[in-house]
Structure 1
């Protein structure tokens, strides 16, 4: 299938995509986990009683990786294929996740591929993404042709989504502060209409994973044994369930309440860059970790209205698709 515009936000937590599906915008999401593929096929021989996992295998630099909605979140020694580093976009895991997003949508040809970057790494990696993913991409059994790559700062997608879907909450004549709390980074943009204020915009490492990692350390201290990964902590918190840990059903709420104090340092950094909020119409929260950081942001900016975007996980990639479509319609090269 050929796509005029395909938008992908390969985040540290989840990989989200937006593309044309008839007259609507199609959306898809799966965990940003890309472990090395297993050679086991036992589930295919279960006589109908074992469910086959919804994953695909992609080849990157000679190695096979599994990606998809049913990718395993636990492994014998904790290597789930998640990458939490600022050079994430240069890793084979990132390439595998991008390949998976294209293959799940059935795309073999893209005129304009829109990709997101954290604000503070956008200057470093924009040209890298253009060079790396323009042309014919070979993922083993699949080849995909990409004619143009358009990297964008992640909160810019949320800003455009807010302008499109925020109704009368969006005031183009005054500034808004868009805050994207991701899995590994927190990014923010101050913009009046669609004009960014570079001096007040920025980003820092520090998202939901920072909280989960500290929770894992607290659990390890209390239980006397290490926690092998943070993926189950994330899943149990989202589903409001206890976490099974060596036969015990752990109540995660006390650990969460203690760990979330780490949000304070990240929010103070943002507050110092943004400065006084007297000229800001509203603060718009998006990203998978928005609900965790919301109380601290409200405390930091007590006189400014705070909006939580609907379906915050998809806000960036929806905006990316709208930006890419508008740019494509104008025939722009960059």
Structure 2
């Protein structure tokens, strides 16, 4: 991991703080996760946040695609010499073995990542952006640790980017952040909710008089994503690189796979990749999953789910070494943190475990704040 900035990381944590444009800079953020792409957009009087599935399907150029009662909310974007369909309705393009995802550690430089990033930029362009002064991108902690990966993203997207249909958007500066760093930056928006959890825990930590007191604490940021479980230990405003890390194949995808394997064994036939999003949605809504007209209750697979989560968190605790002894506060971000919160609260009953409100968008909201803080300091 690159040396951490001694400045307050909640306000801004970056390797470079130079040459951002001085006049009303346009700041945007994209968090490409293995499950969802989260991004900021221009809106009347400010910005808003949106998302779409992290799926990129080879574009169907046939006339059949146009046979619909409405145009689906997707775009065809160029990536690695081919065209991919991405966007909010991309699930309508999925069929059979066309999984449309990449859950490998080389995700950041593959065609899927490129298509997804360009899809987010296309949504920004459609909302009115023609150029972006500062674009903040995120990487899982284990990938952020590799400077070559950070450099690759800067070199790839710090330019005029083709975003499909002959359109381009100019990106003047790219900042790369470790994904959980965004959640840490966004904490200042939720002091009251955080203090409620601190008070209810009843441990040594007392409610904070102001968010500035956060910079005196040892805060463990935990991000259970779709593929990786990331964690950052932030001590007095600086990242402790020796106690921060990530476990691959330790996120939501592994949970879904465990449920899918168990379900396939119970019904007596293999289940293809197109079933995974249905299982994911059924788990999220706590509803049965419907396959070939039959509703299957997934509650029976709770032991398999908890086994995966316990194992993933054991890997994190092992990666912390003995640093868990000095943790004052645990903060969870990401799309599905509730079960992780329950396990961590049982393991560390005197440490407050705070789930960020709107946890799915916590990182990208923090990225936006980091980018805006950088332009103010320039």
- The normalised TM-score by structure 2 is 0.81
Q: Which aligned pairs between 1:17-32 and structure 2 lie closer than 5 A? A: 17-32=39-54
The equivalent of 1:68 in structure 2 is: 87
Are 1:318 and 2:365 matched, yes or no?
yes
Task: Give the C-alpha shift of residue 278 in structure 1.
Answer: 4.5
Task: Give the C-alpha shift of residue 73 in structure 1.
Answer: 6.1
Q: Deviations over 1:115-153 (max 9, x none)?
A: 000111113211111111111222342212111111100
The equivalent of 1:126 in structure 2 is: 150
Counterpart of 2:224 (choices 181, 185, 193) is 181
Distance 1:286 1:61, change over 3 A: same
Contact 1:102 1:108 in 2 (8 A): no
Q: Which has the larger share of strand?
A: 1
Distance 1:208 1:104, change over 3 A: same
Contact 1:5 1:111 in 2 (8 A): yes
Greater Cα offset, 287-296 or 179-188: 287-296
- CA distance in 1: counterparts of 2:236 and 2:42, whole angstroms: 26
Q: Secondary structure at the match of 1:58?
A: strand
The equivalent of 2:279 in structure 1 is: 233
- CA distance in 2: counterparts of 1:73 and 1:253, whole angstroms: 27
Counterpart of 1:287 (choices 310, 334, 337) is 334
- CA distance in 1: counterparts of 2:67 and 2:57, whole angstroms: 22
Counterpart of 2:139 (choices 117, 141, 153) is 117
The equivalent of 1:258 in structure 2 is: 304
Q: Secondary structure at the match of 1:80?
A: coil
Q: Deviations over 1:196-221 (max 9, x none)?
A: 12222111111111100111111111
Are 1:214 and 2:261 matched, yes or no?
no
Q: Secondary structure at the match of 1:288?
A: coil
The equivalent of 2:8 in structure 1 is: none
Q: Relative contact order, CA 8 A, sep 6+: which one is greater?
A: 2
- CA distance in 1: counterparts of 2:341 and 2:229, whole angstroms: 12
Q: Deviations over 1:53-103 (max 9, x none)?
A: 111111223311111111126743232311111110111111111111111
Greater Cα offset, 150-159 or 299-308: 299-308
Greater Cα offset, 159-168 or 99-108: 159-168
Structure 1: give runs of 5+ residues left out of the alignment: none
Alpha-carbon RMSD across the aligned residues, in angstroms, is 2.0
Task: Give the C-alpha shift of residue 255 in structure 1.
Answer: 2.1
Contact 2:41 2:123 in 1 (8 A): no
Distance 1:139 1:103, change over 3 A: closer
The equivalent of 1:100 in structure 2 is: 119
Are 1:135 and 2:159 matched, yes or no?
yes
Q: Deviations over 1:245-299 (max 9, x none)?
A: 1221111111243233111121112112333545322211110121232222222
Structure 2: give runs of 5+ residues left out of the alignment: 1-23, 196-210
Q: Which aligned pairs between 1:288-307 and structure 2 lie closer than 5 A? A: 288-307=335-354
Q: Deviations over 1:281-334 (max 9, x none)?
A: 221111012123222222232221111110001100010011111112222xxx
- The normalised TM-score by structure 1 is 0.91
